[in-house]
Structure 1
Amino acid sequence: MPKSKGLMERIRDGETVICAEGYIFAFERLGYLKAGPFTPEVVVDHPELVRQMYKDFVRAGSDVVQAFTYYGHRNKFKLVGREDELEKQNRLALKMAREVADETGTLMCGDLSNTWVYEPGNEEAITETKAIFKEQIEWAVDEGADYIVAETIGHLGEAILATEAIKQYGKGVPAVITLASHYNQLREDGKRTTADDVEITEALRKLVAAGADVVGFNCTCGPVSIMPLLESSVEANVGAPLAAIPVPYRTTLKEPTFTTILDPWTGKRAFPDNLDCLLCSREDVVKFTQQCVRLKIPYIGLCCGNAPHYTRTMAETLGRVTEASKFSPDMSIHGIYGTDDSKVNTYYTKELPKTTVKQE
């Protein structure tokens, strides 16, 4: 297919770009990735599954194939004893993403994550963080990334290092930088801050000043709890297009992150392997997408917990018809709930309750 318009050209033309994320949790649920280290070893072990998931997300409406290189950095791969396979993992993830993007006329982006190495004021840690970003960026550029994402970063200092590295080694590709708000930084004035105590909207401005082309938030917060961050950033006019990539879990303003939210039945922390009961509904995704449209946020998607049906819902809410829309629900021809009398089994419908009883 013909090469798609670039990211910034799309945004300047008033388009909304959907970028499907969530590979880490998707493969953990499929049994190909371990919760805890969350390292993307499946790329090397089962590349055919990764390629298929790329295709599934595009088919559902993603405008971007995001290469599965999240947590694919040297510090993480040391933890699982596979550091010697790191470059192979990155290049293979990128190469497959480039191929699928070319086949489908979509964009391809490289992906950096927080390093778990960075410490403010620790020069040794800062040097190691820079090296991690440098090699992943160089691999992404070699394999033809259209732009590079750096995401789930709590410290402004680390996010600035990622921005500067993309500008230095990215050979001109745009930089999308998204912060993860853990909501554990709350000043007395009620304003949220980064982990290194910079007010959130001021942090976004500093990222723009460092060269970021798109800034915003991803992960940790669900659609409800990410909204105050987005609204304050729109109001503050931070100087660049905004990105909104929450997790599809029913976090609240009281329990704003999926790492701290409790299972309502047990009262225990749900993260990471008991979050299923807190997944968003498709209607939640519709509402979130509509809110993003209202706020004129041009770069949207879903993070950990995402699946193709959510991405399709997001695309269809924007008025798009995707390849997967052929199989969108149509209850008008259901055997019980259908509206076509010729297709409804009256034996069952006569037994349906006339009212809905709310579960307590």
Structure 2
Amino acid sequence: MEVDFRYELQNRILIGEGAMGTLLFINGIDQCYEEFNIQEPGRIERIHSAYVSAGADILQSNTYGANYIKLKRYGLEDKVSKINRRGVEIARKAAGKDAFVFGTIGASRSFRKSDLSIEEIKRSFREQLYSLLMAQPDGLILETYYDLEEIETVLEIARSETEIPIIANVSLHEIGYLQNGVHLSEALSRLEEIGADVVGVNCRLGPHHMIRSLEEVPLPAHAHLAVYPNASLPDFVDGRLVYAAVPEYFESSALELRKQGARIIGGCCGTTPLHIEAMKRAIGTLKPVSKKTVRPRKIEIIEAGNINTTVALANKAKNERTILIELDPPKKLGIEDFMAGADALYEAGADSITLADNSLATPRISNGALGMLIKNKTGNIPLIHLTCRDRNLIGLQSHLMGLDTLGLNEILVVTGDPSKIGDFPGATSVYDLSSFDLISLIKQFNDGLSYSGQPLGRKTNFRIAAAFNPNVRYLGKAVERMEKKIKCGAQSFLTQPVFSENQIEEVYQATKHLETPIFLGIMPLTSSRNAEYLHNEVPGITLSEPVRKAMAAAANDPMKARAEGMAIAKSLAAAAAERFNGLYFITPFLRYDMTAELTKHVRTIDNKRLVEVATHE
């Protein structure tokens, strides 16, 4: 288009394009949409042309996911340049002299932020950016960025590489807030400062919620506002997402969006040429507003969390011996033996019982329910394991709010064994979040914010433990993961069981630079068969050859095998106690008599040392 985009934006409201993927999807296409730029360019051109006929002033190249990271899923990573250049060329052909053509770059991060580092995003973004710029679009549009760090990063790159206009759109889970709790007005102001010509919001929300979000956003000082709402909240019908909003609703909504200062109004998921035509009809020749009344933002004061007078396990382990004992919830109903075991372990000197979350992907009685029973009966707060496997993001947030409500604030975050190794191998392993993401989410809860960025009402008071597996070939890599978890918010670590005194020393040397407490795992063996099963079949556990031989020598005598297993565990516990304040005893098969004996053994050693110190003084 020969006219100047920035000049046009100063004087009138421009209508953006609607959804591309929606029109492809309703025609039965369910594959990489960007591949059609080189496979069936005529189909993409016809969609663009339909939007131009409907009144769109700005077309977006069909390149939203045309980066290395996303195209690799389809084996198209070598076609990044071709797909992007063709995307601009197709849009240009459809636009003619009637519309501007903007190169589209979508976000790479999902809510699993740990899947992609900023460096990976930068590399992928630069390749797509340069490919688009080679085709000489009229501008760039960055859209559907939920993560503010990501869009700030890529916008800085784009602004440093080109002077063409840039539209930078974020996306919201909740009205007015990004997922890290930053208010929309602040986020748009930050993008304006980096150099975006247009800042705005797209996707996820329909017109109603976008209007409400913009009511709290002032007109930018130098940039302009853009709004690309979804057609509505989606419904799920016959296996497909369906958007219900009719074009007439968009017609009236366009007028409200204009009142909020929008200079560009387009459509996102679920919108069609009919929606764009309705908005064009509504706006007509109306001039953009130059002043608006901003609705005062309601500042919600986030109160402190529940007061918990117990000393955090991590803090205690920084200064003195602290013993955690894992006691698996039962696989069957009936908790008499379990509760008797919990009592025995506390009487033996355990500082806390830890409750696994369906360990080995086998369903057990809810550890939250048992944790509450233990708390009510003994007054002690158990440490609740929380896996990423069994709950989606909705379930995780709900579960965490429930645990906070119950006062169960000691949490161990674990990835969780994949469901295929458990009793129901056909069950789905969710893994919406990685362990890094879940640690970060709980830390955000402690700041009083939900995943979506909205205030929770008050801060939680979770103490966050994380898992550390020293049974790996490259211990340094495992320590690097620990350090990354600490940055995410981990306050202590529980290790997989170790079965070698040399390994205990190696772990100590590799981690002694860390101030974060480590609870070293020790697990009594019950038999040679138990030892071989753990060594050969359980992920993350490796037994030393001397231990396996010692247990094999007692294979035919259960009493001897138990005695040998306890002797090994006591020796390992004594060695671990020399290096670590924190010890983590793992009860085998509800044999709490073994971990109770092990706990008494360590407490006896500690008491003897105290007596010796007092005597010498």
TM range (shorter): 0.7 to 0.9
One of 225, 232, 237 as aligned partner of 1:242: 225
| Compared CA separation, residues 271 and 213, structure 1 to 2 (3 A) | farther
Give the Cα–Cα distance (whole angstroms) in 2 for the partners of residues 199 and 207 of structure 1. 13
C-alpha deviation, 1:237, in angstroms: 4.8
C-alpha deviation, 1:294, in angstroms: 2.0
Give the Cα–Cα distance (whole angstroms) in 2 for the partners of residues 194 and 271 of structure 1. 29
Q: Which residue of 2 aligns with 1:208?
A: 192
Give the Cα–Cα distance (whole angstroms) in 2 for the partners of residues 162 and 229 of structure 1. 24
Of 122-131 and 40-49, deviating more is: 122-131
C-alpha deviation, 1:272, in angstroms: 10
Tell me which structure has the larger Cα radius of gyration. 2
Q: Is the 8 A contact 2:176 2:216 kept in 1?
A: no
- Percent of aligned pairs with the same amino acid: 24
SS at 2:102 equivalent: strand
Query: Per-residue displacement from partner, 1:258-317 (whole Å, max 9, x unpaired)?
Result: 4xxxx4xxxxxx2995332x4211221111111122223111100111211111111111
5+ residue gaps, structure 2: 286-617
Determine if the alignment matches structure 1 residue 229 to structure 2 residue 213: yes
5+ residue gaps, structure 1: 184-190, 252-257, 264-269, 321-360
TM-score normalised by the chain length of structure 1:
0.73
Q: Is the 8 A contact 1:201 1:233 kept in 2?
A: yes
Q: Which residue of 1 aligns with 2:249?
A: 284
Q: Which residue of 2 aligns with 1:60?
A: 54
Give the Cα–Cα distance (whole angstroms) in 2 for the partners of residues 288 and 22 of structure 1. 17
SS at 1:283 equivalent: helix
Determine if the alignment matches structure 1 residue 74 to structure 2 residue 58: no
Give the Cα–Cα distance (whole angstroms) in 2 for the partners of residues 271 and 194 of structure 1. 29
SS at 1:41 equivalent: helix
Residue identity matched to 1:95:
E
Q: Where do 1:307-322 residues align within 5 Å?
A: 307-319=272-284
Query: Per-residue displacement from partner, 1:321-358 (whole Å, max 9, x unpaired)?
Result: xxxxxxxxxxxxxxxxxxxxxxxxxxxxxxxxxxxxxx
C-alpha deviation, 1:230, in angstroms: 1.3
Q: Where do 1:124-143 residues align within 5 Å?
A: 125-143=117-135
SS at 2:199 equivalent: strand
| Compared CA separation, residues 128 and 52, structure 1 to 2 (3 A) | same
SS at 2:196 equivalent: coil
One of 174, 177, 180 as aligned partner of 2:165: 174
One of 4, 7, 10 as aligned partner of 1:9: 7
Q: Where do 1:342-357 residues align within 5 Å?
A: none
Q: Where do 1:84-123 residues align within 5 Å?
A: 84-101=78-95, 103-116=96-109
Of 173-182 and 129-138, deviating more is: 129-138
Q: Where do 1:259-338 residues align within 5 Å?
A: 263=235, 270=236, 273-276=239-242, 278-319=243-284
Q: Is the 8 A contact 2:37 2:90 kept in 1?
A: no
Give the Cα–Cα distance (whole angstroms) in 2 for the partners of residues 135 and 162 of structure 1. 12
Give the Cα–Cα distance (whole angstroms) in 1 for the partners of residues 237 and 109 of structure 2. 18
Determine if the alignment matches structure 1 residue 25 to structure 2 residue 8: no
Q: Which aligned segments of 4 or more residues in structure 1 are displaced greater than 4 angstroms? A: 117-120, 236-239
TM-score normalised by the chain length of structure 2:
0.44
Q: Is the 8 A contact 1:118 1:158 kept in 2?
A: no
Residue identity matched to 1:135:
E
Give the Cα–Cα distance (whole angstroms) in 2 for the partners of residues 281 and 95 of structure 1. 31
Q: Is the 8 A contact 1:117 1:129 kept in 2?
A: no
Of 236-245 and 39-48, deviating more is: 236-245
Residue identity matched to 2:29:
Y
Residue identity matched to 2:27:
L
Q: Is the 8 A contact 2:206 2:229 kept in 1?
A: yes
Residue identity matched to 2:25:
E
Of 149-158 and 22-31, deviating more is: 22-31
Q: Is the 8 A contact 1:65 1:109 kept in 2?
A: yes
SS at 2:117 equivalent: helix
Give the Cα–Cα distance (whole angstroms) in 2 for the partners of residues 79 and 12 of structure 1. 41
Q: Which residue of 2 aligns with 1:50?
A: 44
C-alpha deviation, 1:100, in angstroms: 2.6
Q: Which residue of 2 aligns with 1:328?
A: none
Determine if the alignment matches structure 1 residue 195 to structure 2 residue 179: yes
| Compared CA separation, residues 167 and 89, structure 1 to 2 (3 A) | same
Residue identity matched to 1:172:
E
**Higher relative contact order (Cα pairs below 8 Å, separated by 6+ residues):** 1
Residue identity matched to 1:161:
T
C-alpha deviation, 1:221, in angstroms: 0.3
Give the Cα–Cα distance (whole angstroms) in 2 for the partners of residues 238 and 271 of structure 1. 44
Give the Cα–Cα distance (whole angstroms) in 2 for the partners of residues 181 and 219 of structure 1. 8
| Compared CA separation, residues 213 and 77, structure 1 to 2 (3 A) | same
Q: Is the 8 A contact 2:255 2:282 kept in 1?
A: yes
Give the Cα–Cα distance (whole angstroms) in 1 for the partners of residues 237 and 75 of structure 2. 25
Give the Cα–Cα distance (whole angstroms) in 1 for the partners of residues 48 and 109 of structure 2. 27
Q: Is the 8 A contact 2:52 2:98 kept in 1?
A: no
SS at 2:253 equivalent: helix
C-alpha deviation, 1:105, in angstroms: 3.1
| Compared CA separation, residues 315 and 273, structure 1 to 2 (3 A) | farther
Residue identity matched to 1:65:
L
SS at 2:178 equivalent: coil
For these two proteins, the number of residue pairs brought into alignment is 285
Q: CA RMSD in A?
A: 2.3
Q: Is the 8 A contact 1:20 1:306 kept in 2?
A: no
Residue identity matched to 1:307:
T
Give the Cα–Cα distance (whole angstroms) in 2 for the partners of residues 271 and 59 of structure 1. 30
C-alpha deviation, 1:8, in angstroms: 1.6
Q: Which residue of 2 aligns with 1:154?
A: 146
SS at 1:21 equivalent: coil
Give the Cα–Cα distance (whole angstroms) in 2 for the partners of residues 173 and 138 of structure 1. 13
More strand by share: 2
